Amino acid sequence: MCDGTQRSGMMPLPKNHVPNRTGSGLPWAEAGPCLVSKLYTFAEGRTLSSHDAGALDALAATFAKSGNHVDQLMLDMVTNDAFRYVTPDL
């Protein structure tokens, strides 16, 4: 634990929170879109633009509906047309 307390075994986490270093957490409603954006940026290998907003919104919504399963998010991300095809700068 962050305060130096030793624990054995796994601790159950609240289903609606993502842990952070202070022991508290963010609701998935706030952390989910952030995680989607960061993973998408990393996967694209570039800075995101306004062209990516629709894909990010759709992926964040699907991520939330899936129960925040990261494995499903990764699959949805790489099979998304916005990820698979290049959008020319207009």
> Tens of pLDDT along 60-84?
999 989 888 899 999 999 999 988 8
The answer to the question of residue 64 being in a domain is yes
d(CA 29, CA 68): 10
The answer to the question of residue 77 being in a domain is yes
The answer to the question of residue 79 being in a domain is yes
Please give the pLDDT value at position 7: 54
The answer to the question of residue 53 being in a domain is yes
By residue range, what is the domain housing residue 70?
47-84
The answer to the question of residue 2 being in a domain is no
The answer to the question of residue 63 being in a domain is yes
Which among 47, 45, 42 is positioned nearest to 89, based on CA atoms? Answer: 47
The answer to the question of residue 74 being in a domain is yes
Higher pLDDT, 56 or 28: 56
The answer to the question of residue 34 being in a domain is no
Q: How many domains does the chain have?
A: 1
- Note the pTM of the prediction, 2 decimals: 0.66
Query: Cα–Cα distances in Å, from 18 out to 3, 46, 55?
Result: 18, 26, 23
